[in-house]
A = this chain, B = another copy of it.
Amino acid sequence: MSDTVLASAVSFPAPETPSFQPLYQQIKGLLTQRLESGEWRPGEAIPSEQDLAGQFSVSQGTVRKAIDELASENIVVRRQGKGTFVATHTETKSSNFRFLRLRRNDGQYEYPASELLDVKRGRVNADIARSLDIKPGDAILILRRLLRYSGEPTLLDEITLPANLFKGLTKERFDAHVGSMYGFFETEFGVRMLRAEEQVKAVTADPITAEALRVGMGSPLLCVERIAYTYGDKPVEFRRGLCTTRSHHYANTLS
Contact = CB atoms under 8 A, between A and B. Distances in A.
Contact of A254 (B196, B201, B204, B255): B196
B200 A200 contact: yes
Interface in A168-209: 194-204
A253 interface: yes
A193 B196 CA distance: 26
B198 A251 contact: yes
B255 A73 contact: yes
A170 to B, nearest CB: 27
Contacts of A249: 199-201
Contact of A200 (B219, B252, B253): B252
A104 to B, nearest CB: 11
A220 interface: yes
A74 interface: yes
A195 B253 CA distance: 8
Interface residues of A, number: 33
Nearest to A74: B255
Q: Is the interface of A mostly helix, strand, loop or mixed?
A: strand
A254 to B, nearest CB: 4
Interface string A223-255: 000100000000000000001110001111111
B201 A250 contact: yes
A70 interface: no
A20 B222 CA distance: 45
A221 interface: yes
Given A220-B203, A245-B202, A249-B201, A99 B254 contact: yes
Given A200-B200, A202-B203, A203-B202, A101 B221 contact: no
A82 interface: no
A167 interface: no
A83 interface: no
B255 A195 contact: yes
Interface string A97-122: 01101010000000000000000000
Contacts of A198: 251-254
Interface string A73-86: 11000000000000
Q: Which 3 A-B pairs have the closest CB atoms?
A: A201-B245, A202-B220, A200-B250
28 contacts: A74-B255, A99-B254, A101-B254, A103-B199, A195-B254, A195-B255, A196-B253, A197-B254, A198-B253, A199-B249, A199-B251, A199-B252, A200-B200, A200-B222, A200-B250, A201-B222, A201-B249, A201-B250, A202-B202, A202-B203, A202-B221, A202-B244, A202-B245, A204-B219, A204-B220, A220-B220, A220-B221, A222-B222
